[in-house]
Amino acid sequence: MRLFLFDCDGTIADSFAVICSTMQGAFRARGLVAPADTAIHGIIGLSLAEAMQRLRPGSTLAEAEDLADAYRVTFQAARAAGQVHEPLFPGMRDLVTRLSSVDENLVGMVTGKSRRGVDFILATHGLEGRFHVVRTADDCPSKPHPAMVLESCAEVGVSPSDTVVIGDAAFDMAMARAAGATGIGVAWGAAQPDALRSAGATAVATDCNHLGQLLDGWRAHDDPSRWTPAPFETA
């Protein structure tokens, strides 16, 4: 068996506009100067409280939790008003569907999103039942702590050495490395390819077709923990 663990925001779904507008709204709701989009991109993937502490250095945990609450309220209001749009990246639905349809594959999600947010994404895009295991910010410490990966592996009975983490942030790749899993980055999200490689990515996909090639190559290797992309798979 092989376990494919996908990040959500910036990897499966294009959530950047929603996250930026919600984060800025949360700061303004507390009378604070809103962070720039570029700063927000740098914290995507972290749990809300940790993200707030990075965006507002020197804040206490209580202050960060209060900002996180403001984020949740702002997001829920936007969703109720029909203003939340998180489209899937081109080709992602087909890739997840293809991988999850193979008996020897298990597909999961490891994300800094809330469980409620994940359920909304899956229902919106008809992906319910495609993910055998899900770990969210509600369940585990923030990335890059390896708990999301290790708990997912334990739940489905697959070794980290037979697991790949797919993500757009350096936090995803560092989490994979800390857990003993393979990390494959995607170039359409928060981090630049060099940053993903520096954080531990074995390869970086340029689009979903390329990602599918990389995952097929990893899946076919006798010892996936020792896999490296073939020349034709490298961007």
Phi, psi of 25 (to 5 degrees): -65, -40
- Taking only the tens place, the pLDDT of each residue in 94-131 is 999 999 999 999 999 999 998 998 999 999 999 999 99
Residue 25 contacts by C-beta under 8 Å, 6 or more apart in sequence?
Answer: 34, 70, 74, 78
Confidence category of residue 206, pLDDT binned at 50, 70, 90: very high
Instruction: Give the predicted TM-score (pTM) of the model.
Output: 0.92
Cβ neighbours, 10 Å, residue 38: 8
Domain parsing of the chain, residue ranges: 2-14+87-233, 16-80
Of the CATH numbers 1.10.287, 1.10.260, 3.30.420, 1.10.150, which one belongs to the domain with range 16-80?
1.10.150
Whether domain 2-14+87-233 has CATH 3.40.50.1000: the reply is yes
- Alpha-carbon distance of 33 to 56, in angstroms, equals 10
Q: If DSSP codes are grouped into helix, strand and coil, which group holds residue 150?
A: helix
- How confident is the model over 56-82, as pLDDT tens digits? 999 999 999 999 999 999 999 998 998
87, 12 contact by CB (below 8 A): no
Q: 3-state class of 192 per DSSP?
A: coil
2-14+87-233 and 16-80: identical CATH topology: no
